[in-house]
Amino acid sequence: MSNWQAWAALAVFAAVYVLIVTEWVHRVAAALGGAALMLAIGATDDEAAFFSTDTGIDWNVVFLLLGMMMIVGVLRRTGVFEYLAIWSVKRARAKPFRVMAMLVVITAVASALLDNVTTVLLVAPVTLLVCDRLALKAAPFLIAEVFASNIGGTATLVGDPPNIIIASRAGLTFNDFLVHLAPLAALLTVVLLAMCRFLFRDAFRYDEDRAAEVMALDEREAIRDPRLLAQGLAVLALVVAGFVLHPVVHYAPSVVALLGAGLLVAVSKVEAKDALADVEWPTLAFFAGLFVMVGALIETGVIETVSQALADATGGNPLAATMTMLGASTVLSAIVDNIPYVATMAPITADLVHTVGEPHGQVLWWALALGADLGGNATAIGASANVVVLGIAERNRQPISFWTFTRYGIPVTAVTIAISALYLWIRYFALA
């Protein structure tokens, strides 16, 4: 690979990043256009792009996303999430802070199993309904749910797309995420609730008459198809079991998700074309484009050069490398989409893990995941879920400005990242 190709690949990559960040062109067009240019200049080729496990499209990631999108697409038709949200609000006796706590916990748990955008799309309308009934401003509740979604998504392999990329590139299993990140995500959810009590202290005005209106909601009416609900939950349970039992059954997460999606379509009355209609094809194409572009950077030696520079900068010190990874990932994910960020950083992290070596190698992956997932909470554009909720709030005449969100996002991110740094240090260095 010649030197000019490395520079050309870097220039294409930088230009595409600018286009993605500025949204001058649609991100899918930018990623696919960039991939096409990488192929055109010879920075990568068809063999590498389509068939290489190291420098090509990561089909495990693409098909895991595809399978989960199909399963979630069927599940959301059942109304189970609306049922759960309203049921929990009624259990909270419609007392505002308890309502927020219930919705935050439901969002965090759901985000661990579903993608964050789907979760907030399901929870936000229920939140608006409840706040309308309670005559409360919905913004604090919606913002808290976004934070919970990004924190909950950190907990599992399937919770957030960056985790899927990290798992595939690092060879980490569903159980690895459960053991290493889920306890921290649970702790951060509790911390988030404590912060919400303080940050939104003016939002919890209780009115008994208004509360009675919430108690009058009939959550059972939300269930549209009980049979489909039973089938969907059974398949979801099987899929989670498939993820957890990986050491026994040895199915890759992508295979488990695809088998689950296929089983759900086979046993339910949902047509295959309807299940496939819920798949976000543009997102999958975006991933494919990114993988080809990052693969070109690997093929041309750019990634190796960057990795070496980072290794030199941290002096091979595992703790310095971990904290640098956590901090840099947090800041960058607050500004740019964390999916392209992690797609780019994954091969660099793999090199750094190799340089640092055992027993501290794996902690770099956790630092990358935590920084990328939690950093998304810092600003209104830090994660897709943030943008989606702000759009819903705007359409419902409860606008949340960029700065309103960010005013709460920065302290929440600072505290959650500080706790994460402490967690990484204690668990992987002090007690190692």
By CB under 8 A, tell whether 142 contacts another protein: no
Shortest Å, Cβ 149 to another protein: 16
Footprint of another protein on 21-80 (CB under 8 A): 79
Of 128 and 148, nearer to another protein (C-beta) is: 128
Q: Determine which residue in the list 36, 97, 219, 419 makes contact with another protein, applying CB under 8 A.
A: 219
Of 393 and 421, nearer to another protein (C-beta) is: 393
Of 213 and 304, nearer to another protein (C-beta) is: 213
Footprint of another protein on 71-110 (CB under 8 A): 79, 82, 86
Neighbours of 182 (CB within 10 A): 17
CA distances, 223 to each of 75, 106, 162 (Å):
11, 17, 32
Count of residues that interact with another protein, criterion CB under 8 A: 23
Of 71 and 124, nearer to another protein (C-beta) is: 124
Of 105 and 120, nearer to another protein (C-beta) is: 120
**3-state DSSP call for residue 23?**
coil
Footprint of another protein on 363-422 (CB under 8 A): 392, 395-397
Contact criterion met (CB below 8 Å) for 274 and 49: no
By CB under 8 A, tell whether 221 contacts another protein: yes
Query: Of 233, 211, 235, which is closest to residue 223 (Cα–Cα)?
Result: 233
Shortest Å, Cβ 243 to another protein: 28
Q: Determine which residue in the list 35, 195, 217, 257 makes contact with another protein, applying CB under 8 A.
A: 217
The token pair at 427 is: 């668990």
The token pair at 391 is: 């759009």
Q: Outline where 245-356 has alpha helix (H).
A: 246-249, 253-267, 272-277, 281-299, 302-314, 318-335, 338-356
Shortest Å, Cβ 399 to another protein: 12
Residue 199 to residue 196: CA distance in whole angstroms: 5
Footprint of another protein on 325-344 (CB under 8 A): none
Residue 73 to residue 324: CA distance in whole angstroms: 38
The token pair at 376 is: 């998304």
Helix (H) or strand (E) holding 132: helix 116-134
Q: Determine which residue in the list 12, 31, 126, 188 makes contact with another protein, applying CB under 8 A.
A: 126
Query: Of 419, 164, 425, which is closest to residue 287 (Cα–Cα)?
Result: 164
Of 124 and 279, nearer to another protein (C-beta) is: 124
| DSSP letters spanning 66-104 | HHHHHHHHHHTTTTHHHHHHHHHHHHTTT-HHHHHHHHH
Q: For another protein, which stretch binds (CB under 8 A), given 25-33, 216-224, 281-289, 376-384?
A: 216-224
Query: Of 170, 149, 176, 174, which is closest to residue 416 (Cα–Cα)?
Result: 149
By CB under 8 A, tell whether 278 contacts another protein: no
Of 308 and 396, nearer to another protein (C-beta) is: 396
The footprint of another protein (CB under 8 A) covers: 79, 82, 86, 121-122, 124-126, 128-129, 132, 213, 216-219, 221-222, 224, 392, 395-397
